[in-house]
Amino acid sequence: MKKSNILSLIITLILFFDITDLYAKDFSEKNIPVQEGGRIKPLDTYARNQALAFYGKRKIKHENLSAIDWMMDLFIYPEIGLEQKIFNIRNPDIVNALGLEWTNNFHKYSYSEISPGLQNQMPLISNIIDKKEEDRDLFENQLVELYQNMMKYRQIASSLSCLLPMFTVYDPEIAEKLHIEPGQFTSYAHIMSHRGSLFNVSQNILTKSEDSWTESEREVALLLYNLQQTSLDEFAKALKIIPPAKDDTTGLWISPWELLDGREIKPHQDKIIKSMEAYLFARYEKNSSSMDDALKSYKTGVLSFPGDRVKFSILEKETWLNKANLFTLSLVFYLFGFILLGISWMVQPILFMNIAYGSLISGFILHTYGIYLRMVIMSRPPISTLYETIIFVGFVIVLLSVVIEFLRKDGLGIFIGSVSGSMLHYVGFGYAADGDTLEMLVAVLNSNFWLATHVTTIILGYGTSLMAGLIGHLYLIEKIRVPNNSSRLKSIYNNMFGVTLIALFFTLFGTILGGIWADQSWGRFWGWDPKENGALLIVLWQLMMVHMRLSGLAKPDRFALGMVLNNIVVIMAWFGVNLLSIGLHSYGFVSGVAVNIVLFTLFELFTGFGTYYWSQLNNRKTPV
């Protein structure tokens, strides 16, 4: 029976080396560094986040385009991009307000479709923008969001237009002045860097009347007109891909259009825009070897930035993580494990159960690796945002399940691990849909030491507490199913009590550590802030259960019920206190959570008390 375990481990490892191998490749356009949200991220992440904001998905599904390809196309063919159905509008009221037609299942609209409608609504929109955010209703919020998305989209579409090969001259003399071959296409940026050489000609044009222009003057006039048209794009400053000058102290990266505003262009910046220009041209011509050359030179340009060195290996890891979707894969393994466990109950217990265990472990390894990569990318401890707490609680529960399964070998661990692992991944995806999950932190949280100690401990506490609650559920179910199998019930009860003690250790210690952090940064150990009270409530509840057991107030059945109800306390402390939106800790607020919390509470109350009283009913029937 060990064989199948080893087998599944080997399969997992092979899978690993296979996918990790992917990122040994050359520098690709996906890894172009962009500054957004306070950090340097790969263009791939940037593109995915934008796609998520506009389209609602991390790729353009109906055109089967990856985010990066969509964005590159948008850079090269901005006009086509304006016609692309990219804006996902889910509210029919908005569609009506824009004078568009609400189709039944495909609510995607293009920039050109939406733009006139929004123009008409401008008085309304500026009125809403003046309002405070909490005074806006859903329609108003969505309208403003759409408006802001449109503005951003327009900016992104034009952000590289100064680097597109759109201009040419045929007059050999002028071409030479501009350092191009006659008829060769070049960019706004290139011409602007040689604009001094056109000075005399343009003076002539201005002084002479239009009919007396020579052929070459006519050409220059047209060129100047076209340049003027392109320069209207200079508002497009969203894409911050160029590291600042060395003497800059703000740490702000700049966009190509900002670079062309007349400031002195540093050598590394020049190299970057020249390479980008070459890359866009090669991509336009679909010449993959020139594309590679341009990217190589681009990377050299970024590396020659004299300030903080850009860590390409980190960018590559993030791009790989985007692609690999480790948490989705991990979810698949968990679900697979659950199904296999179900099969093992029906046929062939040992074999299928072992494969199920292997599947759980494989999912767990992917899960762990995903968390590890996120830590490496952000160079900080595993948990710092609400999203990461969810991923980490999943990790803790599956880890404990793997251990318990190893000790029990009867499927109990697989069951708990696969069910809760999948559920938490699923909840996590909901949170990930809000945007970039790798966010920067506000000052008070910006402390790796305390994130690593307090936050990790308290989340370990949440995870182990939920685990104890899950075993509590199982205990009550088994009590109904096999009321007379006292040794099985006893062993599950022991597991539950053991996990409760671990949970108590982490919640108690984590809460005290939190107090110490508060003492270090705010000057008081305890302030009765909602989040502190939430954590305290879990500790108190668990202390109560342990002492009820000790004093005989709670027999095993009641203890199990108590730990099931403890789940409600955990969820309240975890998500509920944020709903009060008061106090120093309310940085994790997410609206719409309230309904889910209520549903969860009702579910736990119903199943907890239901199974408890049902098992007591059985108790009475069983002859003593």
What residues numbered 278-307 form the site for another protein, per CB under 8 A? Answer: none
* Residues 227-256, interacting with another protein (CB under 8 A): 240, 250-253
Q: Minimum distance between the CB of residue 528 and another protein, rounded to whole angstroms?
A: 5
Binding residue for another protein (CB under 8 A) from 3, 21, 528, 622?
Answer: 528
Please enumerate in sequence order all residues whose Cβ is within 8 A of that of 438, keeping only pairs 6 or more positions apart, or say none: 39, 41, 45, 318, 374, 377, 378
Work out whether 478 is an interface residue with another protein (CB under 8 A): no
20, 36, 69, 49 alpha-carbon torsion, rounded to 10°? 80
Q: Minimum distance between the CB of residue 596 and another protein, rounded to whole angstroms?
A: 19
Q: Minimum distance between the CB of residue 525 and another protein, rounded to whole angstroms?
A: 5
Q: Minimum distance between the CB of residue 543 and another protein, rounded to whole angstroms?
A: 6
Binding residue for another protein (CB under 8 A) from 328, 519, 555, 619?
Answer: 519
Residues 559-598 as x/- pattern, contact with another protein by CB under 8 A: ------------------x--x-xx---------------
Q: Which stretch binds another protein (CB under 8 A): 327-335, 379-387, 539-547, 558-566?
A: 539-547
* Residues 14-53, interacting with another protein (CB under 8 A): 35-39
- Would you put residue 103 in left (φ > 0), alpha (ψ -120 to 50) or beta? beta
Work out whether 540 is an interface residue with another protein (CB under 8 A): yes
In the complex with another protein, which residue's Cβ is closer, 294 or 518?
518
In the complex with another protein, which residue's Cβ is closer, 60 or 353?
353
| Type and span of the H or E element at 572 | none
In the complex with another protein, which residue's Cβ is closer, 124 or 441?
441
Count H helices, E strands: the chain? 27, 6
Nearest to 374 by CA among 364, 359, 385, 363: 385
Q: 337-349 burial by CB neighbour count: b if 16+ within 10 A, else e?
A: bbebbebbeeeee
Q: Minimum distance between the CB of residue 211 and another protein, rounded to whole angstroms?
A: 51
Binding residue for another protein (CB under 8 A) from 172, 183, 307, 527?
Answer: 527
3-state secondary structure of 415: helix
Looking at the DSSP bridge assignments, the partners of residue 85 are 110
Q: Minimum distance between the CB of residue 564 and another protein, rounded to whole angstroms?
A: 17
Q: Minimum distance between the CB of residue 400 and another protein, rounded to whole angstroms?
A: 9
Nearest to 51 by CA among 82, 86, 81, 75: 86
Q: Minimum distance between the CB of residue 80 and another protein, rounded to whole angstroms?
A: 29
Q: Minimum distance between the CB of residue 591 and another protein, rounded to whole angstroms?
A: 16
Q: Which stretch binds another protein (CB under 8 A): 81-89, 122-130, 550-558, 605-613?
A: 550-558
In the complex with another protein, which residue's Cβ is closer, 1 or 122?
1
Residues 423-442 as x/- pattern, contact with another protein by CB under 8 A: -----------------xxx
Distance CA 344, CA 363 (A): 19
| Type and span of the H or E element at 168 | none
Concatenating the DSSP letter of every residue in 510-540 gives: HHHHHHHHHHHHTS-S----HHHHHHHHHHH
Binding residue for another protein (CB under 8 A) from 520, 605, 610, 613?
Answer: 520
Distance CA 412, CA 403 (A): 11
Binding residue for another protein (CB under 8 A) from 553, 594, 605, 617?
Answer: 553
* Residues 374-403, interacting with another protein (CB under 8 A): 403
* Amino acid type, 582: I
Q: Minimum distance between the CB of residue 426 and another protein, rounded to whole angstroms?
A: 28
In the complex with another protein, which residue's Cβ is closer, 170 or 345?
345
Nearest to 256 by CA among 271, 268, 273, 277: 273
Q: Which stretch binds another protein (CB under 8 A): 25-33, 279-287, 545-553, 590-598?
A: 545-553
Nearest to 221 by CA among 268, 259, 174: 174
Q: 65-103 burial by CB neighbour count: b if 16+ within 10 A, else e?
A: bbbbbbbbbbbbebeebbebbbbbbebeebbebbebeee
Distance CA 48, CA 113 (A): 23
* Amino acid type, 305: F
Distance CA 436, CA 228 (A): 36
Distance CA 327, CA 505 (A): 28
Tokens of 502: 């671990």
Q: Are 408 and 313 in contact (CB under 8 A)?
A: no
Work out whether 529 is an interface residue with another protein (CB under 8 A): yes
Binding residue for another protein (CB under 8 A) from 297, 408, 432, 618?
Answer: 408
Tokens of 329: 């894969």
Binding residue for another protein (CB under 8 A) from 196, 523, 592, 623?
Answer: 523
Q: Which stretch binds another protein (CB under 8 A): 121-129, 280-288, 293-301, 546-554?
A: 546-554
With both helix axes pointing from N to C terminus, report the angle between 267-284 and 67-76 in degrees, rounded to the nearest 10.
Answer: 100
Binding residue for another protein (CB under 8 A) from 77, 525, 589, 614?
Answer: 525
* Residues 192-231, interacting with another protein (CB under 8 A): none
Please enumerate in sequence order all residues whose Cβ is within 8 A of that of 104, keeping only pairs 6 or more positions apart, or say none: none
Q: Minimum distance between the CB of residue 546 and another protein, rounded to whole angstroms?
A: 9
Q: Minimum distance between the CB of residue 329 and another protein, rounded to whole angstroms?
A: 29
In the complex with another protein, which residue's Cβ is closer, 430 or 588?
588
Q: Which stretch binds another protein (CB under 8 A): 17-25, 282-290, 315-323, 494-502?
A: 494-502
Binding residue for another protein (CB under 8 A) from 384, 495, 566, 567?
Answer: 495
3-state secondary structure of 85: strand
3-state secondary structure of 139: helix
* Residues 50-109, interacting with another protein (CB under 8 A): none
What CA–CA distances, in Å, run from 503 to 19, 219, 381, 572? 36, 78, 21, 16
Number of residues that bind another protein (CB under 8 A): 72
Work out whether 534 is an interface residue with another protein (CB under 8 A): yes
In the complex with another protein, which residue's Cβ is closer, 126 or 520?
520
In the complex with another protein, which residue's Cβ is closer, 365 or 489?
489
* Amino acid type, 354: N
In the complex with another protein, which residue's Cβ is closer, 255 or 319?
255
Q: Are 71 and 167 in contact (CB under 8 A)?
A: no
Please enumerate in sequence order all residues whose Cβ is within 8 A of that of 392, keeping only pairs 6 or more positions apart, or say none: 371, 382, 383, 456, 459, 463
In the complex with another protein, which residue's Cβ is closer, 180 or 537?
537
Work out whether 166 is an interface residue with another protein (CB under 8 A): no
Binding residue for another protein (CB under 8 A) from 165, 417, 530, 556?
Answer: 530
Binding residue for another protein (CB under 8 A) from 512, 590, 596, 616?
Answer: 512
